[in-house]
Amino acid sequence: MSAAEVKNLPQNPQSGASDMAHIVLTFDNNKLASALYGQFDENLARLEQKLGVDIRSRGNQLTIKGAASAAEQARRALDNLYGILQKGADIGQSDVDGAVRMAIAADDQLTLPTLERKGKVSAAQISTRKKTIYARSLNQDAYMRALERSELVFGIGPAGTGKTFLAVAHAAMLLERGMVERIVLSRPAVEAGERLGFLPGDMKEKVDPYLRPLYDALYEMMPADKVERAIAAEVIEIAPLAFMRGRTLAHAAVILDEAQNTTPMQMKMFLTRLGENSRMIVTGDPTQIDLPQNTKSGLVEALRILDGVTGMVTVRFNEGDVVRHPLVAEIVKAYDRDGKLARGLDAEG
């Protein structure tokens, strides 16, 4: 193997631990091996904590001991991380966590396009000149592959799962490669309503606070000066959903964020803007609807109406896909439990 040589050592028949494994990895680059281990072996310690294995380092060689399945998952995660380092990228704890998620899911994941089961994790990626993003969960992997293949993709799930960031990253990659001529990013500014006119500044200054997350994602993937020039030239357009009416968006990557806050009429209007050689991505969280009471969510309605439509792909994220601080995943779980409890009480009432 280019990344590492894997040697499975025979088990001690006296140990009685037939399901235990002892794997030795030998890496071919000492500098990359050191980066893989992390400062004071912190990355190895995180793998041990996540997978319940014992990992010992000696120079460019690692020994993994533990339950056979967990040891193999650790091997896959290390192989994945080493591959990232070989491509010139850095890794941190969030990358380690992502590699663990992908390694655990690898047994159930199919390799596209051959659909052969894989023993080696090969996460989907989005690359621009500034940055390369690798999938950090199975659903992120499915989402990134769907973005490559489909003209209309819905990314549904809680905060912190990367659905908006990955959508913007993919759009930036398409623009950089000349596969689209422009990017259009939109959100419904429901909090503003008729109060928008009372905010200070011109229209751009009024709506920018609602669109800030989209700007942040752009600056992550593209140099700041290029983003500024593209916005000035209207190659990148960031606008409230209301500005989309009456337009046909051709040769563009079009993203609608916070789609749970659209009305059914707004959602239909947006979806019918899709023009020739365009890609459309819709992201949202149906559990975080800020619309007035008794107003239906356009996202919820669209998912129901368009279910089964050829050419549309829906990827659903859950708390297990949260790639922010680990506490965010626990917060999402707690709110989800409370919501289920409340719905149960309402049903009884």
- Torsion over CA: 340, 345, 346, 348 (sign): positive
Instruction: Look at strands 312-316 and 116-117 and give their pairing.
Output: unpaired
Q: How far is CA 140 from the centre of its chain?
A: 4
Could you report the average pLDDT of every consecutive run of 10 residues in the chain (349 residues)? 50 56 89 91 91 91 89 89 87 85 67 44 79 86 92 92 93 93 85 46 59 83 90 88 83 94 93 91 92 91 92 89 71 76 63
Q: What is the pLDDT of residue 267?
A: 94
Identical fold between 4-111 and 138-348: no
Helix crossing, 42-51 with 93-105: angle to 10°?
40
Rg, C-alpha atoms of the chain: 23
Q: Is the dihedral of CA 341, 342, 344, 349 positive or negative?
A: positive
Matching residue, tokens 């190659």? 235
Tell me the C-alpha distance between 61 and 273, whole Å: 55
- 190 neighbors 196 (Cβ within 8 angstroms): no
Question: Which residues in 166-188 are b (16+ Cβ under 10 Å) and which e?
Answer: bbbbbbbbbbbeeebebbbbbbb
pLDDT at 220: 87
Say which CATH class 4-111 falls into: alpha beta
Inter-residue contact 313 to 289 (CB < 8 Å):
no
Outline where the chain has alpha helix (H): 30-37, 42-51, 68-86, 93-105, 138-149, 163-176, 203-221, 224-232, 264-271, 298-305, 326-348
Query: How many CA atoms lie less than 13 Å away from 79 in the CB half-sphere?
Result: 24
Give residue 157's pLDDT: 93
How far is Cα 23 from Cα 63, in angstroms, rounded to an integer? Answer: 6
Please tell me the predicted confidence (pLDDT) of residue 195: 45
Question: Which 3 state secondary structure label does DSSP give 28?
Answer: coil
pTM (global) more than 0.85: no
How much is the pLDDT for 242? 80
Class of domain 138-348: alpha beta
Could you tell me the residue ranges of all domains in the chain? 4-111, 138-348
Largest distance between two CA atoms of the chain: 79
Q: In angstroms, rounded to a whole number, what is the distance separating the alpha carbons of residues 201 and 29?
A: 56
d(CA 55, CA 49): 10
Q: 25 with 2: CB under 8 angstroms?
A: no
Beta bridge partners of 110: 117
Distance CA 132, CA 205 (A): 31
Q: Alpha-carbon distance 148 to 134, whole Å?
A: 14
What pLDDT score was predicted for residue 113? 42
**Cα–Cα distance between 166 and 214 in angstroms, integer?**
11
**pLDDT at site 213:** 77
- Whole-angstrom distance, CA of residue 169 vs CA of residue 221: 6
The token duo for 39 is: 């400062």
Residue with token string 């009432």: 349
Taking the C-alpha atoms of residue 249 and residue 324, their distance in angstroms, rounded to an integer, is 33
DSSP conformation letters of 326-345? HHHHHHHHHHHHHHHHHHHH
